[in-house]
Amino acid sequence: MSTTVDEMARRTGAMSSAELAGGRESRATVGDVTCANPRMVCRDVDVFYGSTQAIKGVSLDIGKNEVVSMIGPSGCGKSTFLRCLNRMNDTIDGCRVTGSIKLDGQDIYDKGLDPVPLRAQVGMVFQKPNPFPKSIYENVAYGPRIHGLTNSKAELDEVIEGSLQKAGLWNEVKDRLDKPGTGLSGGQQQRLCIARTIAVSPEVILMDEPCSALDPIATAIIEELIDELRANYSIAIVTHSMQQAARVSQRTAYFHLGDLIEVGETNQVFTNPKHRLTEDYITGRFG
Amino acid sequence: MSNSHADGAPPKRTIDVVNASLKRRYARERRFRLVGLTAVILGLTFVGLLFADIIAKGHTAFVQTYIQLPVTFEAETLDPAGTRDPETLARANYQAIIRDALRSEFPDVTDRRGTRALGSMISVGAPSHLRDMVLANPDLVGTTREVWLLADDDIDMLMKGHINRDLPESERRVKDQTVGWIEQLEAQGRIEKRFNTIFFTTGTSREPELAGIAGALMGSFYTLVLTLLISFPIGVGAALYLEEFAPKNRWTDLIEVNINNLAAVPSIVFGLLGLAVFIAIFGVPRSTPLVAALVLSLMTLPTIIIASRAALKSVPPSIREAALGVGASPLQTQMHHVLPLAMPGMLTGTIIGMAQALGETAPLLMIGMIAFIVDIPSGFTSPTTVLPVQIFLWADSPERAFVERTSAAIMVLLAFLILMNLGAVLLRRRFERRW
Ligand SMILES: Nc1ncnc2c1ncn2[C@@H]1O[C@H](COP(=O)(O)OP(=O)(O)O)[C@@H](O)[C@H]1O
Ligand SMILES: [Mg+2]
């Protein structure tokens, strides 16, 4: 393990020998990984792509009605970890997950568990807005339709209006629900994707850098939206923007090369990081 | 923007360097465009020449020479008993009526040879034409009517100028005597070229003037429909499975390599395979659209699978993630989102495969499609031939009149290909509604 740290030090270049020594300090997670009211509980999660390990023994809780942000230098495994939470990694050849991840006490990697209904419970919003090449209405209607959540057209219309309203998009699109979803602006598309996700009433929403392709105004709207969604959902968000993490999340987890280095109240992590690597990252010395 | 050198050389501005190279770059671009344009023009010229040649040779096949004669439907010959019994009428000697009509038209011809020459001006198919007329309308018996009778192919060739009247008699298939009769008929306006419905409504025949492409056309149609029904679902299904569901391991690699190999196997090998497997082992009747479609499906499957896999590959993975992310099952993801987006590419591949199948000859020779079949097929298991084999057969026939029929059949085949490709473009447009 020390060789990787040495390599890191050489790559970042500007580390003193004292810092190098500091880099050798424990990679065990600093801070409390648990929370009072957990919805998802992850313990000792390892993820391998073939023979390379992308996530090393990560334990983390995601609480009810909270936003957990995951930050860290790119390639540290944030997306990988997030995709474990709804078994999206199943689609990648050679990806192997060990450890336990529980949703409301149920192990989601249990042999008998079907990932299809799981993904209805744990929805996902992706980095690049990816609406279906169908109408706005069809985009939101797709989830409820395949899961048979509604019994009538009127009910479905209601769900769609509600979802678009929660996603803050209703007023902008209510007159053109039959227009293609791909014709919206980037920010609107991302909110459409959020509406599509919440249309199936998930319990947890995973967001992988949802604003990285958006301009600041669209970003601000989505951030506001995340804060509102917290009332009903648990949210785990990966972001490369520390300001965004600070603005939207209650707890923050800092990842580094596949290790979960530090977890804590967002305020504490940003103002008073306990681990040297976290401090280096948020003060801009690394990352 | 300028970099100053220590040795005091004048600083060179980037924009000057760019400008200097710009000319060269544009020249290269122009050259490339010119080469491309030349290639396209060259290709079009050859296609144009091919079409011009085929049309020049084949257009005359769409008309056919007829001779008008006053035909007396002698009751004594046709229906001596006077019962108007259809069976009697069907078996009557219509040849005799034609002979009588010719004799009364050319009363000076009395010798045996002359009579025979007179009779050979009219096609051997004319009696059955008269029979059909009488059967459709028995009241004709006992009357005299002006009837346009189909001329023999030699007369037809003479009328179309394919037999030169100026040649000495010994080098010509039509004798001077006959030419004289024809000129007499021409003067009376009793000989004329009319639209050749026979060509489009009958099967093939040994007699060129009676030969049509309807049999081959229907054979091709049945074969193609069945080929499509067999190969499209299997091809798309195989592509979907291999591309989206199958684990990537040594076996799937092996399968992929073999599919690519199959695409390059000479088509005649598929014909031999069809003969050995479908006909010899499974007892599928030979010369039928069924066995042809089975063989052609084997041949087109690799094309469809490869094109479909390429189409599936080009669907952005974000669409799959989006569908899986809201809880669609893998099959739903494919059916609702991936397949519709891949459809244009799949259809293009399929149409290319179908066009290949439509024009394929060699493997079909192996499975008996070369048999001489006059009847128009009535289903997937009736013996038939197909257009390209018909072309092959006619091209091989010695009669001059088959030359124009060969070209005409090629024109029909090309027309079908163009129609199919047009259909492909339209289908693509429909499916390609980019949102
Ligand atoms: N599909 C994959 N196959 C193999 N390795 C992968 C794959 N996806 C990600 N990785 C590797 O896993 C590590 C973590 O990647 P990722 O989770 O995308 O990082 P982050 O989202 O934090 O930038 C990286 O080293 C990356 O190269
Ligand atoms: Mg990422």
| Domain boundary residue, one of B166, B195, B224 | B195
**Is the minimum CB–CB distance between B8 and chain A shorter than 8 Å?**
no
Does B142 lie in the same domain as B86?
Answer: yes
| Residue B82: pLDDT over 90 | no
| Residue A16: pLDDT over 60 | no
Q: Is residue B27, in this structure, part of any structural domain at all?
A: no
Q: What is the pLDDT of residue A34?
A: 85
**What is the rounded average pLDDT of the residues B74-95?**
86
Q: What would the pLDDT profile of A195-229 be if each residue is shown by its tens digit?
A: 999 999 999 999 999 998 888 888 998 899 899 99
Does B158 lie in the same domain as B128?
Answer: yes
d(CA A101, CA B168): 101
**What is the rounded average pLDDT of the residues A275-284?**
89
Q: Is residue B308, in this structure, part of any structural domain at all?
A: yes
Structure-token pair, residue B263 = 């695409």
Q: Please check whether residue A253 is in contact with residue A45, taking contact to mean a CB–CB distance below 8 angstroms.
A: no
Does B218 lie in the same domain as B191?
Answer: no
Asked which of A241-245, B308-312, B329-333, B427-431 is least confident by mean pLDDT, the reply is B427-431
Rounded to the nearest angstrom, the minimum Cα separation between A196 and chain B is 8
Q: What is the pLDDT of residue A286?
A: 64
Q: What is the pLDDT of residue A135?
A: 94
CB contact under 8 A, A119 and B247: no
Q: Taking CB atoms and a 6 Å cutoff, what residues make up the pocket around ligand 1?
A: A 49, 54, 72, 74-80, 92
Question: Which residues of B fall within a CB distance of 8 Å from A181?
Answer: 435
Does B290 lie in the same domain as B152?
Answer: no
Spatial CA neighbour of B193 closest among B404, B415, B413: B404
Tracing tokens 């980095």 back to the chain, one arrives at A127
User: Phi, psi (5° rounding) for residue A119?
Assistant: -70, -20
Expressed in angstroms and rounded, the spacing between residue A108 Cα and the centre of ligand 1 is: 21
| Residue B261: pLDDT over 80 | yes
Does B167 lie in the same domain as B107?
Answer: yes
Point out the residue among B329, B336, B337 whose CB comes nearest to the CB of A116. B329
Domain count, chain B: 2
The per-residue pLDDT of chain B, averaged, comes to: 90
Q: What is the pLDDT of residue A3?
A: 44
d(CA A65, CA B52): 77
Q: What is the pLDDT of residue B433?
A: 61
Point out the residue among B321, B326, B341 whose CB comes nearest to the CB of A196. B326
Tracing tokens 């009847």 back to the chain, one arrives at B375
Integer Rg of chain B from CA: 32
Does B232 lie in the same domain as B188?
Answer: no
Question: Which residues of A fall within a CB distance of 8 Å from B320?
Answer: 91
The per-residue pLDDT of chain A, averaged, comes to: 87
**Is the minimum CB–CB distance between A92 and chain B shorter than 8 Å?**
no
**What is the rounded average pLDDT of the residues B335-356?**
91
Question: Which residues of A fall within a CB distance of 8 Å from B341?
Answer: 133
Q: What is the pLDDT of residue B18?
A: 87
Range of the domain at B295: 214-431
Q: What is the pLDDT of residue A8?
A: 45
| Residue A12: pLDDT over 60 | no
| Residue B11: pLDDT over 90 | no
Q: Is residue B385, in this structure, part of any structural domain at all?
A: yes
Does B360 lie in the same domain as B242?
Answer: yes
**What is the rounded average pLDDT of the residues B410-416?**
93
Q: B434 falls in which pLDDT band (50, 70, 90)?
A: low
Which residue ranges form the domains of chain A, and what is each CATH number? Answer: 2-282 (3.40.50.300)
| Residue B226: pLDDT over 90 | yes
Spatial CA neighbour of B175 closest among B94, B109, B124, B107: B109
Tell me the pTM. Answer: 0.82
A-B CB pairs within 8 A amount to 69
**What is the rounded average pLDDT of the residues A159-169?**
92
Q: Please check whether residue A220 is in contact with residue A231, taking contact to mean a CB–CB distance below 8 angstroms.
A: no
Q: What is the pLDDT of residue B105?
A: 87
Its ipTM equals 0.85
Tracing tokens 């090998």 back to the chain, one arrives at B269
Q: Is residue B362, in this structure, part of any structural domain at all?
A: yes
Q: What is the pLDDT of residue B166?
A: 86
Ligand 1 pocket mutation pick from A49, A53, A70, A78 by most atoms within 8 angstroms of CB = A49
Q: A17 falls in which pLDDT band (50, 70, 90)?
A: very low
Q: What would the pLDDT profile of B27-50 be if each residue is shown by its tens digit?
A: 999 999 999 999 999 999 999 999
| Residue B76: pLDDT over 90 | no
| Residue A58: pLDDT over 50 | yes
**What is the rounded average pLDDT of the residues B313-329?**
92
Q: Is residue B295, in this structure, part of any structural domain at all?
A: yes
Determine what percent of chain B is predicted with pLDDT higher than 70: 97
**What is the rounded average pLDDT of the residues B340-348?**
90
Q: What would the pLDDT profile of B176-216 be if each residue is shown by its tens digit?
A: 889 999 999 999 999 999 999 999 999 999 888 999 999 99
Q: Is residue B17, in this structure, part of any structural domain at all?
A: no
The 10 Å Cβ neighbour count of residue B113 is 10
Point out the residue among A93, A183, A200 whose CB comes nearest to the CB of B326. A200
Does B353 lie in the same domain as B222?
Answer: yes
Does B241 lie in the same domain as B280?
Answer: yes
Does B308 lie in the same domain as B183?
Answer: no
Structure-token pair, residue B229 = 């029904």
**What is the rounded average pLDDT of the residues B384-396?**
92
Does B349 lie in the same domain as B380?
Answer: yes
Does B79 lie in the same domain as B155?
Answer: yes
| Residue A275: pLDDT over 60 | yes
Selected residue with higher pLDDT from B85 and B32: B32
Q: What would the pLDDT profile of B90-110 be if each residue is shown by its tens digit?
A: 888 899 999 999 988 888 888
Q: What is the pLDDT of residue B83?
A: 84
CATH number of domain containing B281: 1.10.3720.10
| Domain boundary residue, one of B195, B225, B250 | B195
Q: Which whole-number Å values give the CA distances from A275 to A28, A210, A253, A278, in the listed order?
A: 10, 27, 12, 5
Q: Is residue B22, in this structure, part of any structural domain at all?
A: no
Q: Please check whether residue B11 is in contact with residue B4, taking contact to mean a CB–CB distance below 8 angstroms.
A: yes
- Cα B69–Cα B70–Cα B74 angle in degrees, nearest 5: 125
CB contact under 8 A, A142 and B434: no
Q: What is the pLDDT of residue B8?
A: 60
d(CA B31, CA B29): 5
d(CA A98, CA A102): 12
| Residue B246: pLDDT over 80 | yes
Provide CB contacts within 8 A for B59, sequence distance 6+: B408
Q: Is residue B1, in this structure, part of any structural domain at all?
A: no
**What is the rounded average pLDDT of the residues B63-79?**
90
Q: What is the pLDDT of residue A39?
A: 93
